[in-house]
Amino acid sequence: MRKGALKKKQRQLEELHLDRREALGELVLGMYVQGNWDDNLLARGAAEVSEVRRELDFLAEGEEPRRPADEPSGEHTAEHDFPATGEYTAEHDLPATGEHTAEHVLRPPGDHTAEHLLPSHRDAAPDPKPAEKEPEPPTVAPTPSATAPVTTAPTPSATAPVSRPPADSPTEIKAAKADQSTKRDKAAEPKKSAKPDRSDSKASVPKATPAGPAAGQAAEAAVAPADPLDELTAKIDAGERRARTAAEAARAALKTESRTELTAITEDVAAERKKLDTALAAAAAAITAAEKKAAAAEAKLARESAAGREAAAVWVRSQAAEIEADAALAAELDRDGNVIPPPPGAKPEGDPDPVLAARVSSLEAELAAEKAAKTEALIKAEARLKEIEASARAAEERVTAAEAAAAAVPADKPVEAAPALHRTEAEAREAAVEWLRGQIGALRKELSGAPSGDAKPDDTPKAGDS
């Protein structure tokens, strides 16, 4: 039973040790995050961890057969005076009633504070329990103080000083118990020496030496001169230190949290900015693609219009050559009609030669046929000219549309060369059309002048022929 309790206590102390180590780690982490190192604070935290470690070591030693009788371990003795369960009452030969339990029950926290004011009495005041436990066979194994680890266990998120109330420390509870024992020491004094128990040994050696390493501040109090005021001052200082430590730890935790929040906000902002950048890049890519499409369409239009212009120019050239040939033929015919000199041995007018008349009539018929052919060619040429003009107009419209499309392209596009090219081509086309018009006009003039002049040729050949 006692062994089980011992193990339980050991387990609790181990947990406490781990928790305090983690709390110390949190403290160091807070200092690291803040960049504000405080060696004193670290030393204090380390001392608290060491304190628990020492208690644990002592407990482990207590599991061994028995502690030496002269070992000054008043704290443990004090703990043994406050069994947590009724079985200890039975062991200690106390009546199995609730009153013993009530006696051994730890007092409310306020009492501990009051008791801490009288640490000096502990030196002379061993445990009162031995008086009650005297008839009991020696009980050596330390009884776990069930309250201490439970009440002092810090939460993982908080530092040790924050989570550990000052009066709940095992050491201080022990000191309180020792103080309590001081009140009863006189009644217990005669019986203490008879007990070979550890508490008994403590009674025989009434804390002339400081308590075990686990005693911590209580040990300091035991070593210090028995001045209650000093003890009180020491306690107050310790409390202030703890409060300061707790405040600093809380501040560190707060800064860590605010830093985390700030980091999250910064991350959000960065993510939004990246999204925006991505959207902008997509928009820029879309604009570039649209510009490329516009450029391709423009180039295609330019190619088509160039091909159309080329075809029109070829056709115009062929037509012009045809018309020139017609005009030359007409001029030759005209010249033939006007320039034919009369033969030297021709008969005078008045009595026409029938052969000559037949020839004249055949020539007239031929001329009429020529005229008809020329008129027909002229009509065809006019029609073609109209077609050419229409084609030229269409080409002009295309060129205008191309220029309008080029003007619709954004100003930053390098398309300055295209309008100049279009202008040059339009001018060439215009010149060709003008020349063609001039040619047609001349042809018309020739054709229109031919019938009127035909009277003469009609007559002239007659004269010439004759």
Partner 1 sequence: MGIFSRGGQSGRERRAMRDHLDELDEMRRSELGELGKMTVEMAQEGRFDRARLSGQAAEVVKIDREADLIARGLEEGLSLEELEDLARREAEPDTDPGK
Rounded Cα distance, 466 and 344, in Å: 9
Distance CA 439, CA 324 (A): 8
Nearest by Cα to 6 from 75, 110, 80, 90:
80
Residue span binding partner 1 (CB under 8 A) among the ranges 190-198, 203-211, 268-276, 392-400: 268-276
Does residue 265 touch partner 1 according to CB under 8 A? Answer: no
Q: Closest approach of Cβ 232 to partner 1, in Å?
A: 27
Task: Give the distance, in angstroms, between the CA of residue 381 and the centroid of all CA atoms in the same chain.
Answer: 76
Residue whose CB is less far from partner 1, 43 or 187: 43
What is the chain's length?
Answer: 466
Distances (CA, A) of 15 to 12, 52, 148, 215, 266: 5, 10, 12, 19, 38
In the window 269-328, what residues touch partner 1 (CB under 8 A)?
A: 270-271, 274
Residue 356: is it exposed, middle or buried by C-beta count within 10 angstroms (0-12/13-18/19+)?
middle
Give how many residues touch partner 1 by CB under 8 A: 33
CB of 421 to partner 1, least distance (A): 51
Q: How far is the CB of 51 from partner 1 (least distance, A)?
A: 10
Give the separation between CA 311 and CA 397, rounded to whole angstroms.
16
Please say whether the dihedral angle defined by the alpha carbons of residues 257, 263, 269 and 275, taken in this order, is positive or negative: negative
Query: Smallest distance, Å, CB 164 to partner 1?
Result: 14
Work out whether 412 is an interface residue with partner 1 (CB under 8 A).
no
Residues 20-79 that bind partner 1 (CB under 8 A): 20-26, 28-29, 31-33, 35, 37, 39, 42-43, 45-47, 49-50, 53
For the CB of residue 155, give the shortest distance to partner 1 in the complex, in Å. 12
261: CB partners within 8 A, 6+ apart: none
Q: At 307, which helix (H) or strand (E)? A: helix 228-339
Residue from 186, 259, 292, 317 in contact with partner 1 (CB under 8 A): 259
- Cβ contact 106:170 at 8 Å: no
74 or 149: CB nearest partner 1: 149
In the region spanning residues 149 to 208, those forming contacts with partner 1, defined by CB under 8 A, are 156
- Residue whose CB is less far from partner 1, 259 or 423: 259
**Sign of the torsion angle spanned by Cα atoms 77, 81, 82, 84:** positive
Rule CB under 8 A: say whether 415 interacts with partner 1: no
Nearer to partner 1 among residue 55 and residue 71 (C-beta)? 55
Cα of 130 vs its chain's centroid, Å = 70
Nearer CB in complex with partner 1: 188/249: 249
Residue 83 engages partner 1 in binding (rule: CB under 8 A): no
Residues at the site binding partner 1, with contacts judged by CB under 8 A:
18, 20-26, 28-29, 31-33, 35, 37, 39, 42-43, 45-47, 49-50, 53, 156, 259-260, 263-264, 267, 270-271, 274
